[in-house]
Amino acid sequence: MVDFAGWAMPLHYGSQIAEHEAVRSHAGLFDVSHMAVTDLAGEGARAMLRELLANDVAKLDGRPGRALYSCLLNEQGGVIDDLIVYARGEERGYRIISNAATRERVLPYLLDEAQRRGLDAAARDELAMIAVQGPQAPALLEAVYGAAAEPALALRPFQSTELEAAFIGRTGYTGEDGFEIVLPAERSAELWHRLHEAGGTPCGLGARDSLRLEAGLNLNGHEMDEQTSPLAAGLDWTVAWEPAERDFVGRQALEAQRRQGPQQRLIGLVVEGRAPAREGYTVRTDAGEGVITSGGYAPSVGAPVALARVPAAASGGYRVVIRNREVPARAVQPPFVRHGKVRV
Amino acid sequence: MSQVPEDLKYTRNHEWARAEADGTVTVGITDHAQETLGDLVFVEPPEEGTELRAEEACAVVESVKAASDVYSPIGGEVIQGNEALGDSPELVNSDPYGEGWILQIRPADPSELDNLLDAAAYQELVADEG
C-alpha cells in the first residue's frame, strides 16, 4: 500500500506485470475512487465551462451522454489539471471527473466559480469509482448486470449512460476498451466482488501507470503542470481554438506561444537495452537537452519506453543518460500499445 | 512469510551470501527484498574481475517501481555475474536463492562472512521492519 494524494492505495495485488498483462489480454479492475467527481448544473453552467476549459463544451450541445477531455489552464497557459466532462442533458448539467492530486486546487476553484455565478455545484464525495478495462470488459459488465447492461455495451468511446444507481462511461486510462463506473460508495464493494467473480483481475496503481504510459496518456504532475502548456505536452488537439471569440482562461498566453512556436514538445522514446529510463533522466538530442517525464519498463512492448519533453527543434540523435552512460533511443509517436497491439 | 534458508548468511541491506565448497561466495538478494521491490525488469551485475570491498555497491536491480543498489556482503574479486539475468531478470523474483543469484566472488578474507547475520538474526530484522 502507498499513499497517493492522501489515499491509501495498493501499488499491486501481487504482481504488477501480471496485472498489466491481464488488462491487455483479458480484463482488469481498478478502484479509482480517489478521482474527484463534481456535478455542475444550472443556467450558465455551459457558459462557465466554456470560459474555464481549454476544450469547448459546446461540442457536447444536444448530445447528452457525450464526454470531452480537456485541460483546465491558469492565465499563463499552464495546466492546473486535466479532466473529463460528461454532458447529462439540460436539467442535470455536467459531471466533471478530475484528478485526486490536484483536488485541493481544483475543487475550490470550480465550486467558488459556480457559487459566484449562482449555479448548483457539488463535490460528490459519497461516490466511488471502479474502472473495468480490457477486451473482456463488456463480457464482465454483462455477467454482472445481465440484459440491463445492453445500453452500456452499446456505448461508443467517450459516451456514458446511467444504469440503476451507476453512471457508466466508456472511458479509461489503459489504451484498452473498457468502462468507468461511478456509483454510491456503499454499493461499490459488492460491484467489485461481482466483477472479480466474473473474472476481472484486481489491479493496483503500478499497472495503472505502466498501462497509461504504454497508451501514451499523460499524467498530470509528470507530462504537464502549472508551468507547462498543453502545447508542450502533446495536448494541442485538446485546445479548441475555434470559435476565435471564445476567451477561455489561458487563451492569450497559449496564442502567444502558438505564434512564436512552442519551445518544447513531447515525444515517445523506445530505449535500447533493458535498463529502464525513468522520470527525471536527461535526454540528449541534436538540438539540446530534454528530460524524461515518465518512463519505465513496458511489459507489452518488452522494452523500456518513455515520454520525454525535448526541444521543439530536436530531430534525432536521442540518447538517454542512465547512470552516467548514454543509451540510444528511438523516437516514436505514442501510443506504444493500443487495443492489445504493439505499435512501435 | 518470506523464505530465509538456514544455511545462508545475510546483510542488513537484504543481500544473502553462500559459502560454496570451492571457497567462492555466491551473492543475491533475499526473498523479502524481491517481494518488497516487486517485479524485477533489469539487473546489472558487476563485470568479471571487479575488486569489491565489503558493503560496496556492486550491482543494480530495477523493479517496475525503482532502481536499487546491491551491496557486496564481503570484499573480494568478482568471478562472474549471472548472465541469465540479462534476458530473465524475473528469475530473481521466482528463485531468489537459486537461479536468481546475482554474482560470485572470490573472497579476499573468508572470515568476513562471520560478520554477517545468520538466518535467525535476519528473520528478526525482517520481522522488526514489519
Mean pLDDT, chain A, integer: 97
- DSSP for A141-206, please give it: HHHHHGGGGHHHHTPPTTBEEEETTEEEES--SSSS-EEEEEEEHHHHHHHHHHHHHTTPEE--HH
> Does residue B56 form part of some domain?
yes
Query: CB-CB: which of B38, B67, B90 is closest to A206?
Result: B38
DSSP-assigned beta bridge partners for residue A290: A283
B47 in A contact zone (CB under 8 Å): no
Cα A262 from Cα A239, distance rounded (Å) = 14
B89 in A contact zone (CB under 8 Å): yes
Name the residue in chain A with its Cα closest to that of B69.
A323
What's the CATH number where B92 sits?
2.40.50.100
Do B17 and B25 touch, CB atoms closer than 8 A?
A: yes
Helix (H) or strand (E) holding A18: helix A16-25
pLDDT digit string, tens, across residues A295-340: 999 999 999 999 999 999 999 999 999 999 999 999 999 999 999 9
> Does residue B2 form part of some domain?
no
Q: Are the beta carbons of A276 and B42 separated by less than 8 Å?
A: yes
pLDDT digit string, tens, across residues A123-158: 999 999 999 999 999 999 999 999 999 999 999 999
How many separate domains does chain B show? 1
**pLDDT above 80: residue B1:** no
pLDDT digit string, tens, across residues B72-110: 999 999 999 999 999 999 999 999 999 999 999 999 999
| List of chain B residues whose C-beta atoms are within 8 Å of the C-beta of residue A275 | 42, 44, 62
Name the residue in chain A with its Cα closest to that of B66.
A278
Do A140 and A27 touch, CB atoms closer than 8 A?
A: yes
Residue that wins the pLDDT comparison between A164 and A112: A112
pLDDT band at A164 (very low <50, low <70, confident <90, very high): confident
> Does residue B93 form part of some domain?
yes
Cα B128 from Cα A322, distance rounded (Å) = 34
Name the residue in chain A with its Cα closest to that of B67.
A276
pLDDT digit string, tens, across residues B40-61: 999 999 999 999 999 999 999 9
> Does residue B80 form part of some domain?
yes
Name the residue in chain A with its Cα closest to that of B88.
A274
Burial of A181-208, coded b for 16+ CB within 10 Å and e otherwise, reads bbbeeeebeebbeebeebebbbbbbbbb
Size of interface A-B (CB pairs under 8 A): 38
Domain span at B45: 9-112
- Region A267-285: mean pLDDT is 97
Omega before residue B96 within 30° of 0, cis: no
Q: What percent of chain A has pLDDT over 70?
A: 100
> Does residue B63 form part of some domain?
yes
Kind of pairing between the strands at B103-107 and B76-81 = antiparallel
Q: Are the beta carbons of B38 and A275 separated by less than 8 Å?
A: no
pLDDT digit string, tens, across residues A249-259: 999 999 999 99
DSSP-assigned beta bridge partners for residue A341: A338
Q: Are the beta carbons of B64 and A274 separated by less than 8 Å?
A: no
Q: Which of A143, A126, A99, A98 is nearest to A187 (CA)?
A: A126
Cα A181 from Cα A141, distance rounded (Å) = 10
Indicate the DSSP class of residue B14: S
**pLDDT above 80: residue A217:** yes
Determine the pLDDT at residue A122: 97
Q: Are the beta carbons of A206 and B64 separated by less than 8 Å?
A: yes
> Does residue B98 form part of some domain?
yes
pLDDT band at B65 (very low <50, low <70, confident <90, very high): confident
- What's the gap in Å between the CA of B43 and the closest CA on chain A? 8
Do A221 and A279 touch, CB atoms closer than 8 A?
A: no
Instruction: Report ipTM (2 d.p.).
Output: 0.85
> Does residue B130 form part of some domain?
no
Q: Which of A116, A98, A94, A108 is nearest to A45 (CA)?
A: A94
> Does residue B69 form part of some domain?
yes
Give me A100's grid cell: 485526486
Is A207 in a helix, a strand, or coil?
helix
Determine the pLDDT at residue B130: 67
Q: Which of A136, A131, A130 is nearest to A199 (CA)?
A: A136
